[in-house]
Amino acid sequence: MELPGMVLGEAVTILVREPVQADPLWVYDRIVAGRYGRPFIIDDGQTRQLFFNLDFIQSSMRVDDPFALDCAYTRKMMAFLLFVPDPGRVLMIGLGGGSLAKFCYRHLPRAHLTVVEVNPDVISMRGAFNIPDDERLTIVQADAADYLAAGEADTDVLLLDGFDARGIAPRFLDRGFYAAARRRLRPGGLLVANFAGPKKYWSRHLGLLHDVFEGRVHMGTVPGGDNHIAFAEAGCALDWDRLEERADALADRFPLDFSALVHSLREGAEFRWAKASRR
């Protein structure tokens, strides 16, 4: 169902998964009041964005370039290529509008991609975000905690970006969840986690990640936003010279500023070291 609407004084189209006999005014009023309870899409003609409520954008797609990474935090998550430049299998937790899945699908043609999404309404909106229907990209409706525990050592890169209307999915806040995530990684694999909002909402997650990965966790902030990206290694310690060399090589293959990504990671590491040395 398409609804005409206004957001911040601008005319938009609101897309919802409702039967044709549903009352559009009732749906619109519930969305504005924050009581709708289902995902919806707002399209202003330039971007198409997924929401669970109007407080937070879950995903954003440029209408003129559906495979581009419109949100800065997704570009930062792609820094995993500095660690694992040619992954064979990428597992993603959280579909959203499929930004990361589409980017990997286009730019990593040899990788098999699996996306785990618990919300069937989100999956049903894949067509609105131009998510390919292809054997290289598998979308699984499942609870992430159950899915991760069902296998071992079959993943090169694991991307955690699972949120509900209130923040990081509650089942993630468990050591067993992060331990299962680590077990899914092959030797040399990498886990990348998106933490959003004030630190008080994700500091316990970060602590569990540090515990499970024995401190091999590197943080990068996203300029101008409220996202923090954690990179947890299942392999050896960080080699900055090697990352700089990879950044130069990757710049020719992908439309991303890898030098800036390395700089951000290095700033985060140096800040952590300086903070620890003052204790």
Catalytic residues: 161
96: which 2 tokens? 């959203």
197: which 2 tokens? 């909002």
- C-beta separation of 207 from 244 below 8 A: no
For 205-233, letters b (16+ CB in 10 Å) and e give: bbebbeebbeebbbbbbbeeeebbbbbbb
Burial class (CB in 10 A: 0-12, 13-18, 19+), 156: buried
**108: part of which helix (H) or strand (E)?**
none
**CA 230 to centroid of chain Cα atoms:** 11
CA distance 275 to 266: 14
* Contacting residues for 258 by C-beta, under 8 A, at least 6 apart: 79, 81, 82, 246, 247, 248, 250, 251
For the chain, the first-to-last Cα distance in angstroms comes to: 57
How many other β-carbons are positioned within 10 Å of the β-carbon of residue 96? 28
Q: Parallel, antiparallel, or unpaired: how do β-strands 217-221 and 227-233 relate?
A: antiparallel
Short-list 38, 61, 55, CA closest to 120:
38
- C-beta separation of 93 from 177 below 8 A: no
Length of the chain: 279
Burial class (CB in 10 A: 0-12, 13-18, 19+), 158: buried
